[in-house]
Amino acid sequence: MVTGASRGIGKACALELAKAGAKVALAARQVERLEETAAEIRRAGGEAFVAPMDLSSHDSIKEGFAAAANHFGPIGILVNNAAVTRDGLALRMKPADWDAVLQTNLSGTFYCIQQVLSPMLKERWGRIVNISSVVGESGNVGQANYVASKAGVIGLTKAMAQELGSRTITVNAIAPGFIETDMTAVLKDEVKASILGTIPLKRFGRPEDVAAAVRFLCSEEAGYITGHVLDVNGGMYMR
């Protein structure tokens, strides 16, 4: 299951996992774009299932996961990618904007994890990869809600890794830096130029860069890695 699979990082992750042989359930609110991703997977010989889902709704999450499990069987890999932004300085941030971002990005991630726990525990195997963000580690002006949600995802990752490790279920996070997606395309050129100056590799990331990291963390080769935060940021933030 890949959430936020209709575009950007989520779509790239879905395509990469399908290429690696996984049957992929695609979740997002934009059904038409999910169908496009599914069609692309099928044209390449893979299997895909569209599961419409709104991560701000617990009922929608339950329904989407139930439909995917009914179609494919127990879910063994979960990529929590879906996220929203409602940027603004803290002084003027509306409660609705704070709540919307935390509900989707953090609570939604947790509720998605809950949906796969029973089958993974029964199978004694699973891979959970949560997409955080470089700003969840470094902070960022004007994004108190988004930063808090992504920092929360890192904490959630470590807690779940400790809870689930004895059942051979790994839980890791990826913290992308500046990735060229629809979410970042709206930034002004001078903002992009300023960000580029902070990246040692001197280029912005591609969704495929994150997808490759996701594929690795979902593989058997990564079976002894859990509770880890993998930075895919070109060096713009180094711990």
Active site residues: 146
Q: How many CA atoms lie within 13 A of 44 on its CB side?
A: 19
Q: How far apart are CA 77 and CA 22, in angstroms?
A: 9
What is 2-232's CATH number? 3.40.50.720
pTM score of the predicted model: 0.96
Q: Which two tokens stand for residue 99?
A: 């709540």
Q: Which residues contact 160 (CB under 8 A, 6 or more apart)?
A: 113, 128, 171
DSSP state, residue 181: S
**Burial of 193 (C-beta count, 10 Å sphere; 0-12/13-18/19+):** exposed
Cα radius of gyration (the chain): 17
Which amino acid, one-letter code, is at 119?
A: P
Nearest 5°: the CA angle 152, 154, 134 is 100
Q: How far apart are CA 3 and CA 29, in angstroms?
A: 10
Per-residue pLDDT of the chain (239 residues; tens, 9 = 90+): 999 999 999 999 999 999 999 999 999 999 999 999 999 999 999 999 999 999 999 999 999 999 999 999 999 999 999 999 999 999 999 999 999 999 999 999 999 999 999 999 999 999 999 999 999 999 999 999 999 999 999 999 999 999 999 999 999 999 999 999 876 777 788 888 999 999 999 999 999 999 999 999 999 999 999 999 999 999 999 98
pLDDT (0 to 100) of residue 181: 83
> Would you kindly state where each structural domain of the chain is located, as residue ranges?
2-232
pLDDT (0 to 100) of residue 176: 98
Sheet holding 24-28, edge to edge: 48-52, 24-28, 2-3, 77-80, 126-131, 169-176, 229-232
